[in-house]
Amino acid sequence: ELLRAVTGAWQQDRAGMAQQARRIADVVRRQMALPVAGDAADATALGSEETVGQVSSALMRMSDPTNGGFGGAPKFPTPPYPRFLLETGAGSVDQVLRHTLDAMAIGGIFDQVGGGFHRYAVDATWTVPHFEKMLYDNGQLASLYADAFRRWGDSLHAETARRTCEYVIREMVGEDGRFLSAQDAEVAAREGANYVWTPQEARADLESAGCADDVAFAFRMYGLDSAANFKDPHHPDAPAVHVLRLSERPDQLARSMGITDAEFRTRRARVDAVLLAARMLRPQPMTDDKTIAAWSGLMAEGLADAADALGDRHFAEAAGRGISFVLEHMRSADGGLLRTWRGGTASVDGFLEDYAHMANACLALAHASGDWRWRTEARALIAAAEVRFLDPVSGAWFDSPATAPDLFTRVRSVDDGAVPSGTSSILRAMAVLATAERDAPMLVRAQRAIAAIAPALREQ
């Protein structure tokens, strides 16, 4: 009915419809425009201990003291939040941060058998995930856990970063080294079918692999000796099953079982190898094999950060291959980045986040590998971004290029959510590169951009 009404109006009063569309577009432009034109004092104030403390306090008020994380169910990792606290917070935030990182690492949102994070948890306790896996989540969380390991030296954080990277290399990297975008939540229209277990399935798989002595250990470790925790809401007649999760940190579980940490790790690795091999024989979720420049940058940065923190050169090599694919195969005729690649074809002019996240990936890999040519690549990406996205009048950044054919307004966004905004990401890249190479002019440009968006940030 609506479509018929619109069609009729277009046929009967095309000029009036066009005029109304222009008025609506003007309203949208005004609503989406961010206030700009701060000054140097604004930039200084935003970086002050007082402002950082205010943001930290706001995040702390959002935190869940019982289950970790920020907010209630459904519960998303939202990596920019804990990363901000990790990089800027005082010791007072350590307890909240460690509680959050531990809760995610032992919960069902983390694939305990195969590694890597699902997109979010449907409950407050991180137990039952929405089973989709996104590249951008796993890249950011690899960075987060690697950084946490640097700070506290906690083996759980190191192992979580390592297993996340191993999962991505195993299942989310193409033969040509490029990163794939996502894995579906469903198999044969059943939510999480590849990931869930019955006790009978787990016992049979372990016994057939000659690991009968590990059955009781596996059941205790993964809660298979307790009530099932997941029932597919789309198939109410299907029996309840288990999403595998730990009830405690591995070191706490080892103590409660009366075994050493080393024995726990050895037995767990054996159990996980058997269950993963059995799981890989099941029908697998579909993989979105599209490559997205921005997401590839986030994943390459995560691999580089993990390589640096854990001393694993294979992660750095995977990061380098992923970055190189984007830089070599996802280019426009004028040398700019293209956003997507699939089936041999790259398309869509890159957005600010594509340049920004790739620049940060290059900088992280330069640090991890000691190969400073990656700094050169980062500088080139920043320079190209300045040409395409920087407003020379205000000094602020646009998200989209001026050449975008299907947008009637250029948006400036400064919100960090599931991923960092293009603006925050490009400014971080500029700050890191300018500091590393003592590039005072670049630092001044970054400070000018911060000043330009200060009024908008104060409204957040």
Q: What is the CATH number of the domain that holds 326?
A: 1.50.10.10
Digit-by-digit pLDDT tens for the chain (460 residues) are 888 878 887 888 788 877 777 676 665 555 545 555 555 555 555 556 777 788 888 899 999 999 999 999 999 999 999 999 999 876 778 999 999 999 999 999 999 999 999 999 999 999 999 999 999 999 999 999 999 999 999 999 999 999 999 999 999 999 999 999 999 999 988 999 999 999 999 999 999 999 999 999 999 999 999 999 999 888 888 999 999 999 999 999 999 999 999 999 999 999 999 999 999 999 999 999 999 999 999 999 999 999 999 999 999 999 999 999 999 999 999 999 999 999 999 999 999 999 999 999 999 999 999 999 999 999 999 999 999 999 988 888 999 988 766 666 677 787 889 999 999 999 999 999 999 999 999 999 999 998 888 776 666 6
Among 229, 260, 284, the domain-final residue is: 284
Do 271 and 419 sit in the same domain of this protein? Answer: no
Residue 45 lies in a domain: no
Give the number of residues written for the chain: 460
* Number of compact structural domains in the chain: 2
Residue 62 lies in a domain: no
Among 245, 260, 284, the domain-final residue is: 284
Do 253 and 293 sit in the same domain of this protein? Answer: no
Do 301 and 251 sit in the same domain of this protein? Answer: no
| Host domain of residue 263 | 186-284
Among 252, 284, 316, the domain-final residue is: 284
Angstrom distance (rounded) from CA 297 to CA 422 = 12
Residue 107 lies in a domain: no
Q: What is the pLDDT of residue 404?
A: 67
H/E element holding 133? strand 133-134
Do 318 and 190 sit in the same domain of this protein? Answer: no
Do 308 and 259 sit in the same domain of this protein? Answer: no
Do 254 and 348 sit in the same domain of this protein? Answer: no
Do 235 and 248 meet the contact criterion of CB atoms below 8 Å apart?
A: no
Residue 362 lies in a domain: yes
Q: What is the pLDDT of residue 24?
A: 66
Residue 56 lies in a domain: no
Residue 270 lies in a domain: yes
Angstrom distance (rounded) from CA 338 to CA 330 = 5
Do 215 and 296 sit in the same domain of this protein? Answer: no
Residue 58 lies in a domain: no
Do 292 and 280 sit in the same domain of this protein? Answer: no
Query: The pTM is what?
Result: 0.91
Do 394 and 440 sit in the same domain of this protein? Answer: yes
Do 445 and 325 sit in the same domain of this protein? Answer: yes
Do 205 and 297 sit in the same domain of this protein? Answer: no
Residue 163 lies in a domain: no
Do 456 and 395 sit in the same domain of this protein? Answer: yes
